[in-house]
């Protein structure tokens, strides 16, 4: 195995090697990767199974075809309003989840829209809806030329959501793994890490617990990983579930998922 990264090496805001998802190429890749992604998809489904919002209406931000989304969880809602900028997402999402939603008589309304740009209007229009950000908040660092602009938007989003019930699953970090862990699915079967993370000071590097350090070692972290700037978006004391996503043979994404209740 190559040199395992120190935890201090994990945060590298200016690193390259990851990009925004979307477009037909993303959907083709996701379709081909269903088997290697299956363990992570199951972990997300189990996490969603524990998310029981009080609203029967869902605002799904960044649905992206729903490749790693649970149909059973979506069936809990009377109405699902999904938003994504990618024009390919709506037909893929309907193909994957449409039949299940019809069975539960869940109304699906899918709109091609930059929901983050219009988030204030959406929150005002649907004041009682539960909001789920589906693998979108970790992509904001690629939308802006400057990292401080991305951080500012993330902080603005969390301010808008104060007093709301919402959840998010997103990239926290991503990068390479050692050669002997590239095929090690056993690392994913160890189960997700669960922590309670305090809100980090603006501009400060996140403080990793000993459990998180051990989890990084089990993932086979190699070199400096990319920071997706999402470490401090959840309110202090929010239980956070961490999951490893084998994005490709050589790369892992460190996902965070949390449910925020008013």
Q: Which domains does the chain have, with CATH numbers?
A: 1-18+171-262 (no CATH), 22-134 (3.40.50.150)
Structure confidence by residue, pLDDT tens digits, 13-28: 433 333 345 677 888 8
Structure confidence by residue, pLDDT tens digits, 170-200: 999 888 887 665 444 434 434 556 665 554 4
pLDDT value of residue 225: 84
Instruction: Tell me the percentage of the chain whose pLDDT exceeds 90.
Output: 47
3-state secondary structure string across 44-89: HHHHHHCCCCCCCEEEEECCHHHCCCCHHHHCCCCEEEEEECCCCH
Question: pLDDT category, 129, cuts 50, 70, 90?
Answer: very high
With 0.75 as the threshold, say if the pTM is over it. Answer: yes
Answer yes or no: are the C-beta atoms of 211 and 55 closer than 8 Å.
no
Question: pLDDT category, 8, cuts 50, 70, 90?
Answer: very low
pLDDT value of residue 196: 59
Residues 83-97 as b or e (16 or more Cβ within 10 Å = b)? bbbbebbbebbbeeb
User: Tokens 């890749």 label which residue?
Assistant: 29
Answer yes or no: are the C-beta atoms of 117 and 136 closer than 8 Å.
no
Structure confidence by residue, pLDDT tens digits, 79-125: 999 999 888 899 999 999 999 999 999 999 999 989 999 999 999 99
């Amino acid at each position: 195995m190559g040199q395992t990264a120190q935890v201090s090496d994990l945060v590298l805001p200016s690193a390259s090697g990851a990009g925004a998802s979307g477009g037909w190429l993303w959907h083709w890749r996701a379709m081909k990767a269903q088997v290697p992604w299956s363990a992570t998809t199951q972990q997300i489904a189990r996490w969603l199974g524990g998310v029981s919002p009080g609203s029967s209406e869902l605002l799904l931000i960044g649905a992206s075809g729903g490749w790693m989304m649970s149909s059973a969880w979506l069936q809990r809602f009377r109405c699902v309003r999904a938003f994504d900028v990618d024009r390919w997402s709506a037909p893929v999402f309907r193909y994957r989840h449409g039949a299940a939603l019809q069975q539960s008589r869940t109304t699906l309304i899918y709109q091609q829209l930059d929901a983050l740009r219009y988030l204030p209007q959406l929150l005002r229009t649907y004041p009682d809806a539960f909001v789920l950000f589906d693998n979108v908040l970790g992509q904001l660092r690629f939308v802006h030329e400057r990292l401080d602009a991305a951080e500012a938007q993330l902080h603005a989003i969390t301010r808008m959501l104060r007093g709301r019930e919402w959840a998010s699953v997103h990239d926290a970090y991503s990068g390479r793994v050692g050669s002997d862990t590239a095929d090690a699915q056993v690392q994913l079967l160890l189960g997700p890490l669960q922590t309670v993370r305090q809100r980090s000071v603006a501009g400060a590097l996140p403080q990793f617990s000993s459990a998180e350090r051990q989890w990084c070692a089990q993932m086979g972290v190699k070199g400096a990983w990319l920071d997706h700037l999402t470490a401090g978006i959840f309110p202090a004391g929010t239980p956070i579930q961490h999951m490893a996503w084998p994005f490709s043979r050589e790369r892992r994404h460190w996902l965070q998922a949390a449910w925020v209740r008013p």
